[in-house]
Amino acid sequence: MRVKNFIDPSHVYRPDIGDLCSKSNKEHFRNFENGPLQERIKKTYKEMHTYQTVELVRKKYAQWGRMERTRMSIMQALAEMDLMVDESDPDVDFPNSFHAYQTAEAIRQAHPDKDWLQLVGLIHDLGKVMARWGEPQWCVVGDTFPVGCAFQKSIVYRDSTFQDNPDSHDVRYNTPCGIYEPNCGLDKVSMSWGHDEYMYRVLKFNECTIPEEGFYIVRYHSFYPWHTAGDYDHLCNEQDRAMLPWVREFNKFDLYTKSEDLPNVEELKPYYAALVEKYCPGSLRW
């Protein structure tokens, strides 16, 4: 699957990252054109864009929405991320648990008064635990997108990976709105199945007490075609547009803190364990 001259559209729309990294370093992130991990990444996205259909997503919502897999705490789930390497990520090739602490610590520095946002930085990717339970990574990681309507141009590898997706040949799903009403709101739109939607549902099911902005970030932080490239606004309502700045603010820390400079997790655990007990205490159903 050779992709020539592919440019991630999000490069054009990146938020202002301030002091998180220099302008030159900024351009190294989300490089889907070349690098040592490209074949793995392209394979993951090809499978994702082939198999993520309306039918598949409905099945996954039903399968995982019952929260019958296990019981464990947030900190136990975080420990599972020690063994999880995201096969769709062009920026890092180390366990996801380090990225969790990198994101949280950057938010803690920039927003010391928003402990709930720091916690969201820590837990936003914990839905990737599905991969530890046998779910293939194309059904767990990577950028998300709506199913049931036309696949927009800003989706990564859009022009080379959807040919074998049956929904791309179904007239019901090939208009901008597809099966949805204009401005229906993202809550009524079925997203490709992955860690965002699963973790959102885990937090909601277990009645965690983070603010609504936090739930929204968890649910849509991988929806790059919307929050970074500007697509799918025609499906959004005013609530979505009001929440968009929060998702974009979070994206600065989720994306631009990835580096090989790994944090001392043992030193940080007590602080974040206290935040977990404040907002998501005890043993949760997954």
Closest C-alpha among 123, 54, 46 to residue 87: 46
pLDDT digits over 172-214, tens only?
999 999 999 999 999 999 999 999 999 999 999 999 999 999 9
Average pLDDT (30-47) is: 77
Residue 2 labelled as part of a binding site: no
Residue 30 labelled as part of a binding site: yes
pLDDT digits over 230-276, tens only?
999 999 999 999 999 999 999 999 875 555 666 688 999 999 999 99
Angle at 91 between CA 75 and CA 110, to 5 degrees: 60
Residue 167 labelled as part of a binding site: no
Structure tokens at 264: 């001392």
Residue 231 labelled as part of a binding site: no
Closest C-alpha among 189, 182, 192, 190 to residue 162: 192
Residue 143 lies in a domain: yes
Residue 159 labelled as part of a binding site: no
Distance CA(206)–CA(214), nearest Å, equals 15
pLDDT digits over 55-66, tens only?
999 999 999 999
Would you state the pLDDT for residue 255? 76
Q: Over the chain, what is the mean pLDDT?
A: 87
CATH number of 67's domain: 1.10.3210
CB atoms within 10 A of CB 126: 25
Residue 86 labelled as part of a binding site: yes
Q: What is the pTM of this model?
A: 0.86
pLDDT digits over 135-163, tens only?
999 999 999 999 999 999 999 999 999 99
Residue 63 lies in a domain: yes
Angle at 39 between CA 144 and CA 166, to 5 degrees: 45
Residue 117 lies in a domain: yes
Residue 143 labelled as part of a binding site: yes
Q: Crossing angle, helix 238-256 and helix 212-220, to 10 degrees?
A: 70
Residue 99 labelled as part of a binding site: yes
Would you state the pLDDT for residue 118? 98
Domains contained in the chain, number: 1
Residue 128 labelled as part of a binding site: yes
Residue 254 labelled as part of a binding site: yes
pLDDT band at 4 (very low <50, low <70, confident <90, very high): very low
Residue 115 labelled as part of a binding site: no
State which residues form the domain around 219.
Answer: 57-285
pLDDT digits over 75-93, tens only?
999 999 887 776 766 655 5
